[in-house]
Amino acid sequence: MKATLHAEPAMAALPAEQEDEQARLNARVPGKVYNQIKRAAAINGVTITDFVLSAAIEAAQRTVEQANVMRLSLADQECFAAALLDPPKPNAALQRALTRRTQLLREE
């Protein structure tokens, strides 16, 4: 048996003009999964829609947060810290870029 879940998705990360609009989220799941979700929602005293929406929002937020975090090995962390504490001297290309930037800012 297949079941269909209907839920309104979270409005986070949508373009500004879509944040206030309602959208529909549909999912086809096996009956066993539907029954498990239905039971979990009942245990929490919420509707299936609220339960699924809450779980989806949490998973989406966790996914976005993880994508925004840079993970470095211990060796890479030490290398990064060393570069911050004792940065290399600017090379010729960086000096030219800085001079060009200064010129562009004066023109504005």
Q: What would the pLDDT profile of 20-68 be if each residue is shown by its tens digit?
A: 788 888 999 999 999 999 999 999 999 999 999 999 999 999 999 999 9
Residue 34: both structure tokens together:
């539907």
Average pLDDT over residues 14-19: 62
pTM: 0.53
Residue 23: both structure tokens together:
């959208």
CATH 1.20.5 fits 2-67, yes or no: yes
Strands, DSSP E only, in the chain?
Answer: 2-7, 25-30
| Structural domain boundaries in the chain | 2-67, 74-107
